[in-house]
Structure 1
Amino acid sequence: MSEHMGRGGAGVILRDHAGAFRAASCHVVLRATDPEMVELLACKKAIELARRVGVGKLHLECDSAGVVSMLNNQEKNLSATGPTVEDVKSRLKEFDEFRVSWVSRSANAAADRLAKVGMGDELNSVWLSSPPDCILHIVSDEIPAFS
């Protein structure tokens, strides 16, 4: 999130159970209020994209421990971000199975790069068949090696 410009970026990458690329998206978030809200909006975009490509079981990985905690908390969130948290929780229940877990920013490099592209270029894009050039090297480096 760019504090001085009030903008944020949301980056999403979908992988299959083996870690191979399925889809990706990037989005600019205008009038971003705080980093947690930007991360929650990224979660909503991830859910939308997962639904679009027919994902039944979703493992949502976030690099914000606070957002992961909010989404895994069974109690109703009454904070300022509560309505968005509850919306994401509700959308997650539409999947056959789901889980939400924390990953480090370095383990979330492709999504982080897409978020920066979305914010910097004020871009809203979706890639369905192959990754965009801006993350191609990250995705190819993360493909599991088969022996």
Structure 2
Amino acid sequence: MTESILSAPPFNLQHTLLPSINFKEWMLERAMQLQPGLFAKLLMIIHGVWRNRNNTLWHDKTQTAQDLVLSSLTWLEEFTSAHAVNSKSNRMQQKAWKPAAQGSLTLNVDAAFLPDQHQGGIGGVLRDYQGRFKAAFACPIPYTASPKQCEMLAIHEGLDLLHSLQEQNVVVQSDCSEALAEIYVENHSLLANGGIVDDIKQVWHQLTGVQLIHTPRNCNQAAHRLAAIGFEATHDSVWLHDAPECILDVLAYDCNKLN
């Protein structure tokens, strides 16, 4: 069985290249001669052959050559995908929420959206340079056409909150780079969301020292939690001075990362 597998695609090893006496030396040669991806497949096939041998001896269950190859390569694909996700997660975990410099506030905003329901929710949280809570909001959006539009509504609501509180020197953080890019377009009247962009800029121009910047999604967890609350809500909610219980753990986590 092993000979038939290794002499067929994707290995196509000639019979003279199949292991004869010294298996260790043969494997070292294959490691040097085969591409890394193909060598990984060879290792999985050999493991599959060994496992098939044990199942035959101890459980009287034998796989065909085709089933053995498919199961081994499927397991390798799942392992590679899981390893790639874990590597990406580890890289993302290195980033943490960062407040604006001393003397400025940070407003994180986010949106939740379900295309099948054409509705959404938005939320935002305002904190000082030490991560201390100042204000927050969570609102349902009865109808929205796209995630980007919902993100723009979150930014607009956040700016409205700053205007009502008469706050200055605020860094507004959103994890939607597409929404921010459209807001910065000068001739926005031709955009699909041009009306919302116009509303945003009208409020923005009434504020002093307010910046709109992008932040990674994993640095926007408090606003994400509030957007989910807004999605399920039936009315708008605003919190001042005392943070809602639903984000206390996230606020504490972000503050701990600052120390």
TM-score, normalising length: structure 1: 0.91
Which residues of structure 1 form unaligned runs of 5+? none
Which residues of structure 2 form unaligned runs of 5+? 1-112
Higher relative contact order (CA 8 A, sep 6+): 1
Higher helix proportion: 2
Correspondences of 1:44-63 after superposition (within 5 Å): 44-63=156-175
Cα offsets for 1:36-78 (capped at 9, x unmatched): 1111111111011112222112211111010111122333341
Correspondences of 1:15-30 after superposition (within 5 Å): 15-30=127-142
Q: Return the match for 1:13 from 111, 125, 137.
A: 125
Q: Is the 8 A contact 1:70 1:77 kept in 2?
A: no
Q: Does 1:117 align with 2:229?
A: yes
User: Residue type of the partner of 2:203?
Assistant: R
User: Residue type of the partner of 1:143?
Assistant: C
Q: Is the 8 A contact 1:18 1:144 kept in 2?
A: no
Q: Is the 8 A contact 2:114 2:120 kept in 1?
A: yes
User: Residue type of the partner of 1:11?
Assistant: G
Higher strand proportion: 1
Q: Does 1:97 align with 2:97?
A: no
Q: Matches of 2:169 and 2:207 in 1, distance apart?
A: 6
Q: Which has the larger radius of gyration?
A: 2
Alignment coverage as a number of residue pairs? 147
Q: 1:80 to 1:22 in 2, by over 3 A?
A: same
Q: 1:145 to 1:120 in 2, by over 3 A?
A: closer
Residue in 2 that maps onto 1:33? 145
TM-score, normalising length: structure 2: 0.53
The RMSD of aligned alpha carbons is 1.8
